[in-house]
Amino acid sequence: MKEGVVGNPLEELAKLQELKDKGTITDAEFELMKQDILSWMVADESAGTTYLSPPPPPQVPPVAASSSKKGLVIAVVVLLVGAGIGAWFIFGKSDSKPKTINVTYIVEVVTTDYCYDFSDTEYSDIPYAEAEIFDGGGYLLGSGTLDGGVDLDESCVFTAEFTIDESADGKYRALAGDSGRGFVNYTDNDVMDGALTVDIIIEE
């Protein structure tokens, strides 16, 4: 019996099926060409020709990922997770309140005296006095120095501007000059847009 692989009808059928799958030929064309090839095979078999199917392609086993590659992937994942946690601690836990507060400290003394004459009055401790802000526990949050005063019609106004730390307990106690006058108390509710205005009026 004679064997041959040249012009193998089995290969032609495989190619024809591939053309059909790709849509290159229609179903009708496929059936017509298939019948021609089958007729060809019947005629050749009558002549004693046997066709061998081409051997299947060798199966390549999947290559397992190396341990070093796995280690790299794990390291990258750990790094990304760590970066995310770090960002949360830095940004996520930070609240919206400012860490420092801008203070405008105003002391108005109602008097007919001029500011430069205060050295001879009971308010001599106010010009250029330390203006201080404490929290509820007595911790000094910050301080500034009052100026020499500005004369108005019936008062003298002393001012200072400075920055303080944010109070942990939400309390702000203001004091300037003689501590015997006591504190003027404020809270977080008085802090607007990161600023606190201390307005003290002293009447004769």
Determine the structural domain holding residue 155 and report its residue range: 100-203
CA distances to 30, 53, 164, 187 from 160, in Å: 97, 100, 12, 19
| Whole-number Å distance between alpha carbons of 171 and 140 | 12
Are 117 and 175 part of one and the same domain?
Answer: yes
Query: Mean pLDDT throughout 127-153?
Result: 95
Asked if the structure places residue 167 within a domain, the reply is: yes
CATH number at residue 177: 2.60.40
Please state at what angle helix 27-46 crosses helix 9-22, rounded to 10 degrees: 180
**23 secondary structure, DSSP code:** T
Q: How confident is the model at residue 12 (pLDDT cuts 50, 70, 90)?
A: confident
146: its two tokens: 């009052």
| Whole-number Å distance between alpha carbons of 104 and 195 | 8
Say how many domains are in the chain: 2
The partner residues of 161 in beta bridges, in order of sequence, read: 104
Asked if the structure places residue 92 within a domain, the reply is: no
Asked if the structure places residue 87 within a domain, the reply is: no
Asked if the structure places residue 81 within a domain, the reply is: no
Q: How confident is the model at residue 158 (pLDDT cuts 50, 70, 90)?
A: very high
Structure-model confidence comparison of residues 166 and 41, the more confident one: 166
Which of 33-42, 47-56, 93-102, 158-167 shows the lowest mean pLDDT across its residues? Answer: 47-56
Q: Which of 17, 33, 51 is the last residue of a domain?
A: 51
